[in-house]
Structure 1
Amino acid sequence: MLIVFSGLPGTGKTTIASNLATKTSAVYLRIDTIEQAIRNSGALAQDVGRSGYMVANELALSNLRFGSTVIVDCVNPVIESRRAWSEIAIRAGAPLVNIQVVCSDKHEHQRRVETRKIDIPGLTPPTWQSVLNHEYEAWDNAPFNIDTALTSPAEAVAMITKRFLSEE
């Protein structure tokens, strides 16, 4: 199973996705980590563009083919990246679960962005203005939504586990 967490920075994706990965022993792929490693390598300019997603797509595919559950933590802002995850799931013969994480409380979302602790050395944290300006296209098919203004990380993990993983 491929579980892709999508949403703007500061919504709580990383907290939920990493907690779910820990609980399920799934492979955890975080786009921020991959992109920062690419930046640190000096192989590309600071703008890594699609490179991080392309690396994550291939890592997900190889791990899905081993039979692992793969959890991806990314903004996933455009239809192109969403289609790529769908294609990876099809190529691997694995079910795809899209989970969009939002924070409907604008003040809480801003507080999270502005007080965010960066756990990836060298990663520049987003500003609130950059989050507001971030491209984020509407979904073709509505994903499973979690509003972290209303749901705790533990509740979110329990909801996802019950709905998508209880049969495994």
Structure 2
Amino acid sequence: MLIVFSGLPGTGKTTIARALAAKLGAVYLRIDNIEQAIRNAGVLRDEVGRSGYFVANELALSNLGLGQTVIVDCVNPVAESREAWREIASRAGVPLMDIQVICSDQDEHRRRVETRQVGVPGLTPPTWQSVLSHEYEVWDCVPFTVDTANMPADQAVALIRGKLSG
């Protein structure tokens, strides 16, 4: 199975995705880690652009081919990246579960963005303004959505596990 977590920075998707990966024994791919590794390699003249997603797509496909459950942690802001994950699941012959993580309480969301530790050496954390201006297209088909405004991570993981088993 391919499980793709999507949402703006600071919504709680990394906390939930990591906890779910640990519970399921799944492969965990975080776009932030991949993109920072590409930056650290110093091989690109410009920003990483879509390269982190291309790398993650191939890593996911490879691990799915080994029979692993793969959890991807990314913003996944545009239809093009969402379609790429659908294509990866199709090529691997596995189900895809899209999970959108939101925080409907804007004050709480802002607090999280402004106080978060990104946990990726060298990665510059986003500012609240950059989150507000981040491109994030409306989904064609609304995915399973978890609102973390009033839900702790362990409850969100339990909710998702229930959805997976039901």
TM-score (norm 1): 0.97
Q: Which residue of the partner structure matches residue 83 of structure 2?
A: 83
The 3-state SS of whatever aligns with 1:99 is strand
The letter for the 1-side match of 2:12 is: G
Q: CA deviation at 1:3?
A: 0.2
Q: Which residue of the partner structure matches residue 107 of structure 2?
A: 107
Gaps of 5+ in 2: none
Q: Which residue of the partner structure matches residue 116 of structure 1?
A: 116
The letter for the 2-side match of 1:163 is: K
Q: Which residue of the partner structure matches residue 10 of structure 2?
A: 10
Return the alpha-carbon distance in structure 2 between the equivalents of residues 100 and 138 of structure 1: 11
Structure 1 residues 68-115: Cα deviation after superposition (integer angstroms, max 9, x where no partner)? 000000000000000000000000000000000000000000000000
In the alignment, structure 1 residue 42 sits paired with structure 2 residue 50: no
For the aligned residue pairs, the C-alpha RMSD in angstroms reads: 0.9
Q: CA deviation at 1:46?
A: 5.2
Q: Which residue of the partner structure matches residue 126 of structure 1?
A: 126
Return the alpha-carbon distance in structure 1 between the equivalents of residues 146 and 39 of structure 2: 31
Q: Which runs of 4+ in 1 moved over 2 A?
A: none
The letter for the 2-side match of 1:141 is: C
Q: Which residue of the partner structure matches residue 153 of structure 2?
A: 153
Return the alpha-carbon distance in structure 1 between the equivalents of residues 53 and 107 of structure 2: 30
Q: Which residue of the partner structure matches residue 66 of structure 2?
A: 66
The 3-state SS of whatever aligns with 1:90 is helix
The letter for the 2-side match of 1:143 is: P
Q: CA deviation at 1:162?
A: 1.3
The 3-state SS of whatever aligns with 1:159 is helix
The letter for the 1-side match of 2:128 is: W
How many equivalent pairs are there?
166
Farther-moved stretch of structure 1 (148-157 vs 50-59):
148-157
Quote the sequence identity (%): 71
